[in-house]
Amino acid sequence: MIIIVGLGNPGLAYRKTRHNAGFSAIDRLAERNGVRFNKKGFSAVYGEGQIGGQRALLVKPQTYMNNSGDAVQQVLNFYKLEPSSLIVLYDDIDLPVGSLRIRQNGSAGTHNGMRSVIACVHSDQFARVRIGVGNDQTLLLRDYVLKRPSGDERAVLAEAFDHAAEAAELIAAGRMTEAQGKYNKKHESMKKNEPDA
């Protein structure tokens, strides 16, 4: 069994904000695979189905971003699973809008939700799909990530959520290298095409 977690903040006020990219991506994953978030528990809403040929639990913590790890830890403890069973989808301000970065493990970087997950499960040895939301140096970080993206960004992010869902499916099927080759390469090409400062 695998656990796929999308990070975000609960409530209508945060719906479709940049910081909720993880929720948007896991919603797309659920839609693609006929999974419904019809259960409550573990300080989360969740649904069960088949992803990449594996039994999977799709989880959206309802603890607010900075405490996301509480819900993740509860799920792992209940099902007696190791952190290596996790795939986490979340927003990343250090990536260009719409790009993905897929890793088998690693640090939380600047993301408080991931810091919470790593602290609660006592490991950083789990897969993650980072979804680029960009940054705006003229705004406070909190103000930027808690805003909804502009019209142009929305179209780019909609495609990114579809790609993130596909990447999660590949990882679930044991095809991490394929997911990285397909989407990390795109991220690198986007970086090369950025204008020089």
| Catalytic residue numbers, as ranges | 19
Q: What is the maximal distance between C-alpha atoms in the chain?
A: 50
Q: Which residues of 75-86 are buried (b: 16+ CB within 10 A; e: fewer)?
A: bbeeeebebebb
- Positive or negative CA dihedral for 42, 123, 94, 28? negative
Alpha carbon distances (Å) from 47 to 8, 13, 41, 130, 152: 16, 23, 10, 22, 31
